[in-house]
Amino acid sequence: MKYPFNVRVYGALIFDNKILLSTESYQNRTFTKLPGGGLEFGEGLRECVEREFMEELALPVTVEAHIFTTDFFQRSAFNDKEQVLSVYFRVSAAENNINLKDIMAREEGKEVFWKDLESLSENDFTFPIDKYVCQFLKEIKTIS
């Protein structure tokens, strides 16, 4: 039997008491999440989140710590025959001379914005796993 898994990898970039969120559209749906995306064959989890930040934001990041890996069943919002497995990491900008306040999405149809960590709530996210992870994100200490 084939097991159709969709592995997603996301990075929590926190700066000056704010966390970077992304709004994008896919299959006529608009959603808000952390920057990140799908694991490609032959790629490690850390490599994936680093690649996704470069593709989406032209921002080199360093993976600092694991935050959470899905430990419950979640059906994909886009394919009801797939199970989603999401992995979340704390990341930081790899270069000190980057102005984090000026980060912009590189891909058409995507928007990134900073959200105050104190006011972050599960309602800021679209997908169930992200809503669940929100509680862990609020516990992360900020870097200024």
Q: Which class is domain 5-137?
A: alpha beta
CA distance 17 to 117: 6
- Residue-level pLDDT, tens digit, the chain, 144 residues: 567 999 999 999 999 889 999 999 888 889 999 999 999 999 999 999 999 999 999 999 999 999 999 999 988 888 888 999 999 999 999 887 677 777 777 777 788 999 999 999 999 999 999 999 999 998 876 554
The pLDDT assigned to 63 comes to 97
What's the confidence (pLDDT) of residue 45?
Answer: 98
Q: Per-domain residue ranges for the chain?
A: 5-137
* Degrees to nearest 5, angle at CA 27 with 60 and 38: 35
Q: Are 38 and 31 in contact (CB under 8 A)?
A: no
